[in-house]
């Protein structure tokens, strides 16, 4: 990776060994690692789209919830999901690891999970950093290209609100773990193995979607971000929000780290064609009403209060 520091608690030799062992797991997926910085050639006319995301032990996950492979896969997918939200094609990924000694045995599995996420998104690992640390942490920076990136700000009154997939799985899984229970296999996999909707976003952007956000803070919070950026009042039909089996309305509304897409479209999208192509639902769950950032809610066609805990003005 580009610049491993020599003064960490791991020691320089151990770090280089770690980098070498990860490189071996990655094979041709890792390119150009070893200079001070990575070099990528932008496609002519494309814009560069870049985002960064951190996953920390004891903050974003507990070690007994998921495997090291899942930690790596999930952390990279969370960052890639931001490229999906912009309808960008992933090009390069940089991985910065903070590794306590207790994590060293998991490094091969971690590398395999990182590799799986990068490979499935069609990117390459172009650099990073390894440092000793007291607690496990991974910061993933993703670089993508797009001719015309989708933003959160493209909505206007009269748009339709869509969501990909079915929500509530990650929220239900964390709820089970927090209660000392075991989540269902479906809920667990939605937490441990989310999917960045890269191909879906590009398909949708080519069919009239004008604004998008990935659901990382929860449907309620991210609808608020979309409303604020587009300066529109969004009406969410709570009874139309698709949920995975066994998830509560609150799991689907407040649970974060879904990595599904919340979209505004100027005209109706073909839900059937989307479902057939991608194997997940696309569901109309509301619309934009008027100017002025706001999120409103209906159930069975009647206006209702915001679900408990909803604070869409937190930003």
**Binding to its own copies (CB under 8 A): which residues in 252-281?**
256-257
Which is nearest to 3 in space by CA: 24, 34, 29, 39? 34
Taking the complex as a whole, the smallest distance from the CB of residue 33 to its own copies amounts, in Å, to: 11
Q: Is 208 in the site for its own copies (CB under 8 A)?
A: no
Q: Is 190 in the site for its own copies (CB under 8 A)?
A: no
Cβ proximity to its own copies: between 305 and 314 the closer is 314
| Span interacting with its own copies, options 84-92, 111-119, 266-274, 275-283, rule CB under 8 A | 84-92
Which is nearest to 1 in space by CA: 26, 27, 38? 38
- To 5 degrees, how large is the angle CA 154–CA 52–CA 280? 60
* 129 burial level (CB within 10 Å; 0-12, 13-18, 19+): middle
Taking the complex as a whole, the smallest distance from the CB of residue 303 to its own copies amounts, in Å, to: 26
Kindly report the backbone phi and psi dihedral angles of residue 260, in degrees, each rounded to the nearest multiple of 5, phi listed first. Answer: -85, 170
Taking the complex as a whole, the smallest distance from the CB of residue 276 to its own copies amounts, in Å, to: 27
Q: Is 37 in the site for its own copies (CB under 8 A)?
A: yes
Q: What residues contact residue 68 under an 8 Å CB cut-off, 6+ apart?
A: 103, 106, 107, 109, 110, 113
Which residues between 102 and 141 bind its own copies (CB under 8 A)? Answer: 126-129, 131-135, 137, 139, 141
Beta bridge partners of 232: 291
**Using the rule CB under 8 A, which residue among 23, 25, 29, 56 binds its own copies?**
56
User: What is d(CA 125, CA 102) in angstroms, rounded to the nearest whole number?
Assistant: 25
From first CA to last CA, the distance across the chain in angstroms is 35
Q: Is 40 in the site for its own copies (CB under 8 A)?
A: yes
Q: Is 86 in the site for its own copies (CB under 8 A)?
A: yes
Q: Is 51 in the site for its own copies (CB under 8 A)?
A: yes
Residue whose token pair is 């599904």: 260
Q: Is 307 in the site for its own copies (CB under 8 A)?
A: no
Taking the complex as a whole, the smallest distance from the CB of residue 182 to its own copies amounts, in Å, to: 20
Which residues between 153 and 182 bind its own copies (CB under 8 A)? Answer: 153, 174
How many amino acids of this chain bind its own copies (CB under 8 A)? 77
């Amino acid at each position: 990776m580009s610049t491993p520091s020599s003064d960490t608690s791991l020691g320089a030799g151990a770090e280089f060994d770690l980098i070498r062992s990860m490189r071996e797991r990655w094979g041709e997926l890792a390119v150009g690692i070893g200079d001070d910085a990575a070099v990528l050639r932008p496609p002519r006319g494309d814009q560069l789209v870049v985002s960064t995301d951190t996953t920390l032990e004891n903050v974003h996950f507990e070690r007994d919830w998921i495997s090291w492979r899942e930690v790596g896969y999930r952390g990279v997918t969370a960052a890639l999901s931001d490229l999906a939200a912009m309808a960008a094609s992933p090009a390069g990924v940089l991985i910065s690891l903070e590794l306590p000694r207790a994590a060293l045995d998991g490094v091969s599995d971690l590398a395999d999970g990182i590799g799986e996420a990068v490979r499935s998104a069609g990117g390459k690992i172009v650099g990073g950093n390894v440092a000793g640390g007291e607690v496990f942490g991974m910061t993933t920076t993703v670089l993508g290209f797009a001719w015309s990136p989708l933003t959160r700000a493209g909505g206007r009154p009269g748009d339709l609100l869509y969501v990909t997939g079915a929500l509530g799985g990650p929220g239900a899984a964390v709820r089970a773990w927090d209660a000392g229970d075991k989540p269902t296999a479906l809920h667990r996999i939605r937490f441990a193995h989310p999917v960045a909707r890269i191909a879906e976003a590009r398909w949708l952007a080519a069919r009239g979607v004008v604004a998008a956000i990935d659901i990382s803070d929860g449907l309620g919070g991210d609808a608020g971000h979309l409303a604020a950026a587009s300066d529109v009042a969004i009406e969410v039909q709570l009874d139309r929000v698709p949920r995975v089996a066994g998830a509560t309305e609150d799991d689907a509304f407040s649970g974060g780290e879904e990595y599904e897409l919340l979209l505004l479209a100027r005209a109706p999208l073909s839900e059937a064609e989307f479902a057939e192509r991608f194997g997940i639902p696309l569901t109309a769950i509301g619309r934009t009403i008027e100017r002025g950032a706001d999120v409103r809610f209906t159930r069975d066609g009647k206006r209702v209060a915001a679900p408990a805990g909803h604070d869409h003005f937190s930003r």
